[in-house]
Amino acid sequence: MPESQFRKGDRVRFNLGTRSVQGEVKEDRGPIGVKGRRLYLVEFHPERRSPSVSHIELPAEQLQPLPVGAPPG
């Protein structure tokens, strides 16, 4: 099995429609995607400065790591 690219707690960026959104990896779901793609459960705020939280499962290739210490956005 390929090594995990992201770990629980990693901050990432991904596209949600036409917006770029930041989130936090909550779980490595493993190679359960189409053709064994590794999926990650990511928690994010759907609207900036909103207290509500959403979750999405995305493959590794749709996630970009954020540098440690990057401001939340």
Residue 70 domain flag: no
Residue 4 domain flag: no
Residue 2 domain flag: no
User: Could you read off the pLDDT of 12-63 as tens digits, one per residue?
Assistant: 999 999 999 999 999 999 998 888 899 999 999 987 777 899 999 999 999 9
Range of the domain at 48: 11-65
DSSP assignments along the chain, one per residue: -PPPSS-TT-EEEEEETTEEEEEEEEEEEES-SGGG--EEEEEE-SSTT-S--EEEEEEGGG-EEPPTTPPP-
Residue 72 domain flag: no
Please tell me the pTM assigned to this model: 0.84
Residue 5 domain flag: no
How many structural domains are present in the chain?
A: 1
